[in-house]
Chain A
């Protein structure tokens, strides 16, 4: 006999908020890439100001998880979902912060568009955003084929980021006049690498929800 659980409405609320957070962070990434590509300073500022909404949502999700832990004593798949929701929420909030950190560096770069393109920062940003759109789908559907796709793509993006970093460092050593701007580009490159890592974390968390296995720190195939 199936029982109606008061608990189910709380879980639905939590799931809805996590998906909302995901979509919001996704929009921030889309906007920040567009701002880099078009040197749109106004859009970069919008990204910065939109972070407050994400931060508020982060606190709401934390509180809801706390409430469920305290009042419902979740077990089994419910427990795994709430543990993961907390971690995913944390990862999403960090990705949101990184989008803001990228946005803050767009204005100083507006006169160096050629250098941005030369190092492929716009392209790596685009790839990171496409990767994150898979994260959104994964969080919505819990379909682990997305998780495998994310883990594999993330490896390739991270390698590319390492490549870009060594090219930037090379440029900095040979052309001292671009050191300041190149350092900025290096930081953005690093932020995209971090966003990729957080995307992998989220894929691992959803894998844990679905099959109960902790896959982090394992080599993904």
Chain B
């Protein structure tokens, strides 16, 4: 049975009074890959960031409507945002490892969450690196600086860092846009593997990437959710002309 992990109802977002998201209602299924596509400025990244309240960090942002994860409105007053972000992890476009060792990068999250047992930490680090498909490449140099890794490896390390705190949802904002084709392929393969255990939501400008890895695709335009359907349907026979024109490169 498909469970809706995330759903939003009539969600609006304003930046200093200017509407950036207009009445977004969407259901995102558990343990699937959901892709958000649309031209720059369409609101897809803003919407992604609102799923773990990253927009709270920006001044003048106002949100209306409901964003529900596991039946809880994440914008309720009594929500612990730190706990929310543990449950809903995020990977960014530009890999941003800490200037520490590979091991410390991954162990950092569990450590600040109170885990201090060395053996337990080692186990978490190993599992996270394995799940991020980078273990074999770094297992013999866990003490080396993360800054010495290639761009693709750094991005997978950041994914490992996100997985180390045991999230249920992983949000990815153009995770492969700065990578070469081989590293991109590795990240894509990893995303498909991750959906076995995690709900993945990915923003991408690469339409072929959305087509290759996602189960469902949402097309955003000018702050509105224009069309949301199975990826196969969106890329073979979308219902809306705007979707068709965007994915075939006729506008945007």
Chain A residues close to B by CB (< 8 Å): 1-3, 5, 7, 73-80, 211-212
Q: Which residues of A contact B211 (CB under 8 A)?
A: 75
Chain A residue at minimum C-beta to C-beta distance from B238: A76
Interface membership of B250, Cβ < 8 A: yes
Among the stretches B21-29, B81-89, B117-125, B241-249, the one at the interface with A is B241-249
Cross-chain contact A5 with B249 (CB below 8 angstroms): yes
A180 CB, min distance to chain B CBs, angstroms: 51
Partner pick for A76 among B208, B248, B251, B252, CB 8 A cutoff: B248
Interface residues of B in 212-252 (CB under 8 A from A): 235-238, 243-244, 247-252
Chain B residue at minimum C-beta to C-beta distance from A83: B236
Q: Which residues of A contact B249 (CB under 8 A)?
A: 3, 5, 7
Interface membership of B147, Cβ < 8 A: no
CA distance A23 to B195 in the complex (A): 51
Cross-chain contact A77 with B244 (CB below 8 angstroms): yes
CA distance A7 to B247 in the complex (A): 13
Partner pick for B236 among A3, A7, A79, CB 8 A cutoff: A79
CA distance A5 to B67 in the complex (A): 39
Chain A residue at minimum C-beta to C-beta distance from B233: A212
Q: List 21 A-B contacts (CB under 8 A).
A: A2-B250, A3-B249, A3-B250, A3-B251, A3-B252, A7-B249, A74-B248, A75-B207, A75-B236, A75-B248, A76-B235, A76-B237, A76-B238, A76-B243, A76-B244, A76-B248, A77-B248, A78-B248, A79-B236, A211-B237, A212-B236
Q: Which residues of B contact A80 (CB under 8 A)?
A: 236-237
Cross-chain contact A2 with B251 (CB below 8 angstroms): yes
CA distance A79 to B237 in the complex (A): 9
Q: Which residues of A contact B248 (CB under 8 A)?
A: 5, 74-78
Cross-chain contact B247 with A75 (CB below 8 angstroms): yes
Cross-chain contact B250 with A5 (CB below 8 angstroms): yes
Q: Which residues of B contact A76 (CB under 8 A)?
A: 235-238, 243-244, 247-248
CA distance A211 to B238 in the complex (A): 10
CA distance A165 to B49 in the complex (A): 70
CA distance A121 to B160 in the complex (A): 74
Cross-chain contact A73 with B208 (CB below 8 angstroms): yes
Ordered nearest first, which 8 A-B pairs have the shortest CB separation? Answer: A212-B237, A75-B235, A76-B244, A75-B247, A78-B248, A76-B248, A1-B251, A5-B249
Chain B residue at minimum C-beta to C-beta distance from A1: B251
Q: Which residues of A contact B252 (CB under 8 A)?
A: 1, 3
CA distance A164 to B236 in the complex (A): 42
CA distance A78 to B238 in the complex (A): 12
Q: Which residues of A contact B235 (CB under 8 A)?
A: 75-76, 79
Q: Which residues of A contact B251 (CB under 8 A)?
A: 1-3
- A sample of 6 more A-B contacts (CB under 8 A), given A1-B251, A3-B250, is A3-B249, A5-B248, A5-B250, A7-B249, A76-B235, A77-B248
CA distance A75 to B217 in the complex (A): 14
CA distance A80 to B247 in the complex (A): 13
CA distance A176 to B243 in the complex (A): 66
Chain A residue at minimum C-beta to C-beta distance from B208: A73
B252 CB, min distance to chain A CBs, angstroms: 8
Interface residues of B in 13-58 (CB under 8 A from A): none
Q: Which residues of B contact A1 (CB under 8 A)?
A: 251-252
B11 CB, min distance to chain A CBs, angstroms: 27
A208 CB, min distance to chain B CBs, angstroms: 9
B232 CB, min distance to chain A CBs, angstroms: 11
CA distance A151 to B211 in the complex (A): 34
CA distance A76 to B240 in the complex (A): 11
Chain A residue at minimum C-beta to C-beta distance from B245: A2
Q: Which residues of A contact B243 (CB under 8 A)?
A: 76
CA distance A79 to B236 in the complex (A): 7
B210 CB, min distance to chain A CBs, angstroms: 10
Q: Which residues of A contact B208 (CB under 8 A)?
A: 73
A15 CB, min distance to chain B CBs, angstroms: 15
CA distance A64 to B68 in the complex (A): 49
